[in-house]
């Protein structure tokens, strides 16, 4: 599926493309979401989109648990599909799949308190999981990545207002009935469903 029309009344913010805004619904442990985020980085628009993290599988354990062979094979297939669509993307098979709520709240916290570092931190978290297998459910790991992304130590990664923001993101995602991630809603009413080849992503974000 390509793109469909959508109500654009909710949009406001920094322009991208032809004065368009973009809302990205994504989760850190989704292979296609990582691929899309790498496309955003390559296009130079990672910091210009309105990123909204949603926890697709809240039942995952804390700390991260090792996956069985069948689950690993499934993720390996997903990695191969992403690599087919995104040239030279670096991905390694993670040993497990962490619950991502704390990581999403951490990004929302940085967005509220130090917005200039939010996209860099988000990008670093995706790469920490998909390149290094980092357990994103562990607070100390979230802080370690924040330090690497030059997020100031005064930023609280579990800010209570950020928790409310994440709840609203999840509600919006459910209300939109988008059915999965990644999804990108463009302010002219178009939706990008899933991960597309780079030429399609380029056309969508630079319309």
pLDDT given at position 16: 54
Element (H, E) at 122: helix 118-132
C-alpha to C-alpha distance for 104 and 90, rounded to whole angstroms = 22
- pTM attached to this predicted model: 0.90
C-alpha to C-alpha distance for 28 and 122, rounded to whole angstroms = 9
pLDDT given at position 178: 87
**Of residues 185 and 12, which shows the higher confidence score?**
185
Q: Of 195, 29, 42, 26, nearest to 108 (Cα)?
A: 26
- Please list, residue by residue across 105-125, b when 16 or more beta carbons sit within 10 angstroms of its beta carbon and e when fewer do: bbbbbbbebbeebbbbbbbbb
Given a cut of 70, is residue 14 above it in pLDDT? Answer: no
**Which tens digits make up the pLDDT trace of 161-191?**
999 999 999 999 999 888 899 999 999 999 9
Which domains, ranges and CATH numbers included, belong to the chain?
A: 22-205 (3.40.30.10)
Question: For the chain, how many helices (H) and strands (E)?
Answer: 7, 4
pLDDT given at position 19: 77
Other Cβ atoms within 10 Å of 154 Cβ, number:
7
Other Cβ atoms within 10 Å of 76 Cβ, number:
13
Given a cut of 80, is residue 99 above it in pLDDT? Answer: yes
Q: What's the angle, vertex CA 97, arms to CA 85 and CA 35, rounded to 5?
A: 20
C-alpha to C-alpha distance for 76 and 81, rounded to whole angstroms = 9
The strand pair at 22-26 and 183-186 is best described as antiparallel
Given a cut of 70, is residue 70 above it in pLDDT? Answer: yes
Given a cut of 50, is residue 13 above it in pLDDT? Answer: no
- Compute the average pLDDT of residues 39-44: 96
Given a cut of 90, is residue 89 above it in pLDDT? Answer: yes
pLDDT given at position 112: 97
- Compute the average pLDDT of residues 103-124: 98
Peptide bond between residue 120 and the one before it cis (omega within 30 degrees of 0): no
Q: Of 79, 86, 100, nearest to 26 (Cα)?
A: 100
Which neighbouring-strand residues pair with 48? none
CA distances from 54 to 95, 107, 147, 170 (A): 22, 11, 23, 5
Given a cut of 60, is residue 4 above it in pLDDT? Answer: no
Rg for the chain, CA atoms, rounded: 16
């Amino acid at each position: 599926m390509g793109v469909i029309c959508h109500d654009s009344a909710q949009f406001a913010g920094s322009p991208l493309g032809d004065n368009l805004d973009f809302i990205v619904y994504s989760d850190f442990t989704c292979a296609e979401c990582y691929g899309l985020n790498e496309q955003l980085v390559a296009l130079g628009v990672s910091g210009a989109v309105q990123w909204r993290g949603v926890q697709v599988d809240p039942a995952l354990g804390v700390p991260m648990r090792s996956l069985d062979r069948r689950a690993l094979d499934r993720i390996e297939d997903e990695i191969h599909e992403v690599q087919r669509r995104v040239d030279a993307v670096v991905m390694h098979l993670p040993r497990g799949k962490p619950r991502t709520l704390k990581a999403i709240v951490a990004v929302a916290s940085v967005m509220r308190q130090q917005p200039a570092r939010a996209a860099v931190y988000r990008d670093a978290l995706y790469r920490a999981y998909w390149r290094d297998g980092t357990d994103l459910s562990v607070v100390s790991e979230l802080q370690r990545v924040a330090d690497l992304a030059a997020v100031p130590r005064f930023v609280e990664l579990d800010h209570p207002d950020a928790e409310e923001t994440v709840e609203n993101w999840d509600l919006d995602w459910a209300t939109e009935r988008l059915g999965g991630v990644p999804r990108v809603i463009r302010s002219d009413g178009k939706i990008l469903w899933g991960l597309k080849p780079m030429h399609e992503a380029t056309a969508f974000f630079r319309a």
